[in-house]
Amino acid sequence: MRWGLIGGGRGSQIGEAHRIAARLDGLFIFSAGALDVDAAAGRAFGRELGLADDRSYGDWREMLKAESSRPRAERLDLVTVATPNATHYEITKAFLEAGFNVLCEKPLTMNVEEADDLCATAASTGKICAVNFGYSGYPMAIEARAMIAAGELGDVRVVMAEFAHGAHADANDAENPRVRWRYDPAQAGISSVVADIGVHVLQMAQFMTGQKVTSLTAQFEHSIPSRELEDDALLSCRFDKGAIGRVWLSAVATGQPHGFVVRVFGSKGGLRWSQEHPDQLHFTTVGGSTQIIQRGDAKHPASVAASRLTVGHSEGMLVAFANIYRGIHARIGGGAGAGGERGYPDVSEGAEMVRAVHAAVRSAKDRGAWIDTRTLAAV
């Protein structure tokens, strides 16, 4: 299938990750792109990466116009939007309306209205609008979901999930442009760590448990006082089938390279998964010993299908990412994702996470009031 990319110019980590993930399984051919806000730089970089001259564009509007008029045999099957957050809505909407399938980076949009509108646009156009919660492509995250769905943990009681890294712990680095924009409302929007990493945590909690967040309470902190937006947050949330969530987020947790860890505790057992060592799940039944389940020993079809290598070989993030692309590919092709499920996070999850961010911000401002994530009203 033919694939296009918007954003992800020279030096962009996420752009390179998308290009590797899209081609890892040989399912997508990189065919068009508008890679940079600097039109000339974007065109040059696209050609360097092998794009045809006439499909390496200076901006997304030019790309939209030209690609829309391609004959069916050359038409892009999927467009990935990896631009700054504030532009996601406009670009995604435009490509959906022009009949393209889209994979949008998270956060989906800057506000709830835009998110809802994209849900409606996806529905009305019948096009795929996926959102890149890429961690949910890890085979052992999929295994955790399958175990919970199969009742191996019993009723889920408590989810303790954290995403706490130390990348922004250096106060001397706070004025570094690479860091500063993240705490500047003008650029980052209403939230920093919740919008940036909290959405991964909540999406993963929903993904693994099969439950949806219905309300939450949040405490925000600015541990480096000059920051306008939070760099550490603590949330409690409730899920629709009875689970409760405890979520800790931080960007000042020195010593934790990545720090995304999910623990789920149910009436029959508990499990633990850590993104830094993603090939293992720790699983314990009530009264039993902890078992280390290796990726290659996973039993559920969805996770087996999501795996590329035999046991003992670490697979890593690029495969998780490639699983999102594979899921979209299967859906475009009319098939199912790995294990018979959708196979990728879609626009509804993107919108749920936008709501969660707004609920958390409201709660934090209102001294920890519980907020309904659907209505965004205090409960």
- Applying the rule CB under 8 A, the residues between 153 and 182 that interact with a copy of itself are 157-158, 160, 162, 164-166, 169-171
Beta pairing partners, 238: 215, 244
- Which of 316, 333, 335, 340 binds a copy of itself (CB under 8 A)? It is 316
Give residues with Cβ within 8 angstroms of 336, minimum separation 6: 330, 342, 343
Single-letter residue type at 196: D
x/- track of binding to a copy of itself for residues 273-312 (CB under 8 A) = --xxxxx--xxxxxx-xxxxxx-xx----------xxxxx
10 is an interface residue for a copy of itself by CB under 8 A: no
- Which of 318, 330, 332, 376 binds a copy of itself (CB under 8 A)? It is 318
Nearer to a copy of itself, 41 or 317 (CB): 317
Q: Are 1 and 329 in contact (CB under 8 A)?
A: yes
Nearer to a copy of itself, 214 or 236 (CB): 236
Name which of residues 348 to 377 contact a copy of itself (CB under 8 A).
367-370
75 is an interface residue for a copy of itself by CB under 8 A: no
What backbone phi and psi angles, to 5 degrees, belong to 213?
-65, 135
Give residues with Cβ within 8 angstroms of 150, minimum separation 6: 300
Rounded Cα distance between 262 and 275, Å, is: 9
Q: Least distance (Å) from a copy of itself to the CB of residue 206?
A: 19
Which one of the spans 85-93, 97-105, 140-148, 213-221 is the region binding a copy of itself (CB under 8 A)?
Answer: 213-221
Among left, alpha and beta (phi > 0; psi -120 to 50; other), residue 219 is beta
Nearer to a copy of itself, 59 or 297 (CB): 297
User: What is the Cβ-side half-sphere exposure of residue 36, based on CA atoms within 13 angstroms?
Assistant: 15
Q: Are 233 and 220 in contact (CB under 8 A)?
A: yes
Q: Are 308 and 347 in contact (CB under 8 A)?
A: no
Which pair of tokens denotes residue 181?
A: 């924009």
Beta pairing partners, 330: none
Nearer to a copy of itself, 293 or 351 (CB): 293
Name which of residues 223 to 242 contact a copy of itself (CB under 8 A).
223-224, 232, 234, 236
Nearer to a copy of itself, 99 or 257 (CB): 257
33 is an interface residue for a copy of itself by CB under 8 A: no
Nearer to a copy of itself, 65 or 277 (CB): 277
